[in-house]
Structure 1
Amino acid sequence: MDASVIIPTFNKASRLCRVLEAFRYQTVRSFEVVVCNDGSTDETAKALEAFAGGGLPYSLKVTNTANQGAGAARNRAVSVSRGDILIFNDDDMIPSPRYVEAHIAAASNGRFVSRGERWTVPIEVAETFASEPAAPEGLEKLWTASRLSVGENWTRTALTVSPGHYFKWLQSCTSNLAISREGFDRAGGFDEHYGTRWGAEDTDFGYCADRAGWMMTYNPEALNCHLEHSTSSSAKFEQAYPNFLYMQSKYQNRVIDTLLDFISVKIAGQASHDLFNEDEFTNDLPPKVAYR
């Protein structure tokens, strides 16, 4: 097994189903998908039981946690996985056909954390798509409606224009990220203290991977597409504020203190919308993605 795709999920049954269906069309077959159901109260368990019944061109493994948060769910999924490369994907991120192949290639090449490129579709498009089967025609139509967000463009710039800067780990985003199992173990996995609140646990993981000697690199070939469900980036970062404060207190590092002080001020001042915005888009043309 070359790779394990790790997906934590909580109460997103319809979107998760579209994600699992989209993984049918990968250009490689030497991977498994491991889903950790983190105490969902919707139809997630029933949907996963139906998928696990067979008919998929990849191996699907399902495990459970009791609503402990995404970090704990990822750790649990990793613990039962078999792949040499761990690919972190969310339950609302639709993979392009070369997604797994591109991550395997990048994360197998030395001590690299492979940060893929995330596109986004507006909420109204995402809701329509989530109600329909993820057939090739629908998947291709989804990508034509996708856009590159301001926040993702910031990530692209940070990792390509200034590839030698110290804060590359800040771009750690576990909705599209891959690392070798050795790198994951050296980083110590995810700190489960962050709990069910959104944010910062993946930033913390990126920092730990960096300290362990794994370099963040941008992987534009590993494309996936976010089925948007929130119209307020500022609200998400307000929710994450206590998590960033926890990360700040966790490490005795003046450089990190300065950076996280800046982020905390941005969040508290409502200005995070400008820096991390995911509901405004650039003028980049959507990629042409074929599932045939």
Structure 2
Amino acid sequence: MLVSVIIPTYGRPDLLSDAIESVRAQTHDPVELVVVDDHSPVPVESELDVAAGDDLRRLRFVRHDENRGANAARNTGIRAAEGDVLAFLDDDDVWKPTFVERVVGAFETVPSEPNVVTTGVESVDGNGELLSVIRPSFGDDPLDDLLAGELAGSFSRFAVRASVVEAAGLPDERFPCWQDWEWQFRLARHGAFHAIPDALVVHRIGDHDQITDDYEARRDVAYPLFLEKHRDHVAERGRWAERRFLALLSRSLGQSALRNGYRGEAVRLLAASLRWNPLAPRTLLFFGFAVAGRSGLETARSVKQGVVRRLH
């Protein structure tokens, strides 16, 4: 089974080099690697001394003629890929050597024949010290799990069968954030998810530039677009499913408001989430942070950074 690995990148050749080396170190063969340079100030291919070899079936660099964003870069990679499985690696993350092997094994042997396979992740600081471990869990109904707050995680953590992309569509480039999450809601309509709980991805939290938690972009663009694309489909499952969906989005937006200092909006959004679903302990927790003021804000930010281990 040929696996196409897609790495979007912009102006971080040192981090990108580590990501590429982690792909080279994979125990599964064959692997195709597509690096999409989203118009870095200096073309990344010229800054790296890498070439295809026995450890990679094929290595390609594709460069955008203008900066178009990470999702556009991923979509460029998807269109260029030739593999049976598509896996995505952010340039500031790395995989452990068995990531691809374990993912392919799940695609080939799990009885539910999943279209999506996800793994656990370790978050580490700039010194490599472990901050947190997240271990996913999915059952027979991936949409139900997503409504319960389970995540297949960031793009670095999950892979998809290439054959499902035509049915589900490409990642939506209109989203300034939540791109991975929104795509998972669409993928969940087309087959099973499978979770490998072992942490096979290492996410590095450091001083390098990362996608910021832009609350206003979430509130004004991502949130209404998410509702528009998925509310009606979820509502087909009944009123309780719709309430859980509305509660989940309100909570996610409320958490972002809290982390970015919009305390009043955080209280309002988290209270609305509790009205939709009073049984969600995580929402109660963050509502308490919001009401607590400054001390709650600092705790909420530490949860975002991975200092506090996963909360349910």
Question: TM-score, normalized by length of structure 1?
Answer: 0.74
C-alpha separation in 2, matches of 1:233 and 1:69: 12
Aligned to 2:161: 180
Amino acid at match of 1:18: D
Amino acid at match of 1:119: E
* Paired residues for 1:61-140 under 5 Å: 61-65=60-64, 66-108=66-108, 109=110, 110-123=113-126, 125=127
Amino acid at match of 1:33: L
Amino acid at match of 1:57: D
Q: Can you list the C-alpha shifts for 1:23-67, whole angstroms capped at 9, x where unaligned?
A: 22211221111111111114623135x324x45621211112332
C-alpha separation in 2, matches of 1:205 and 1:46: 33
Q: Percent identity?
A: 25
Q: Is the counterpart of residue 280 in structure 1 residue 261 in structure 2?
A: no
* Counterpart pick for 2:204 among 203, 206, 227: 227
Structural RMSD (CA): 3.2
Q: Is the counterpart of residue 212 in structure 1 residue 215 in structure 2?
A: no
Aligned to 1:267: 256
Asked if 2 retains the 8 angstrom alpha-carbon contact of 1:169 and 1:203, the reply is no
Asked if 1 retains the 8 angstrom alpha-carbon contact of 2:19 and 2:89, the reply is no
Q: What is the number of equivalent residue pairs in this alignment?
A: 252
C-alpha separation in 1, matches of 2:9 and 2:201: 17
1:118–1:182 Cα change, 3 Å = same
Asked if 1 retains the 8 angstrom alpha-carbon contact of 2:131 and 2:306, the reply is no
C-alpha separation in 2, matches of 1:121 and 1:261: 29
Structure 1's consecutive aligned runs of 4 or more residues displaced over 3 angstroms after TM superposition are: 157-160, 162-166, 168-172, 230-235, 252-255, 271-276
Aligned to 1:60: 59
Asked if 1 retains the 8 angstrom alpha-carbon contact of 2:120 and 2:157, the reply is yes
C-alpha separation in 1, matches of 2:228 and 2:209: 27
Q: Can you list the C-alpha shifts for 1:233-286, whole angstroms capped at 9, x where unaligned?
A: 995253651323322233333343332122222222335936962341549xxx
1:146–1:102 Cα change, 3 Å = farther
Shift, 1:217, TM fit: 2.5
Shift, 1:14, TM fit: 0.7
Asked if 1 retains the 8 angstrom alpha-carbon contact of 2:29 and 2:55, the reply is yes
5+ unaligned residues in a row in structure 2: which ranges?
A: 233-241, 260-285, 287-296
Asked if 2 retains the 8 angstrom alpha-carbon contact of 1:13 and 1:44, the reply is yes
Asked if 2 retains the 8 angstrom alpha-carbon contact of 1:107 and 1:178, the reply is no
Asked if 2 retains the 8 angstrom alpha-carbon contact of 1:87 and 1:103, the reply is no
**Structure 1 counterpart SS, 2:250:** helix
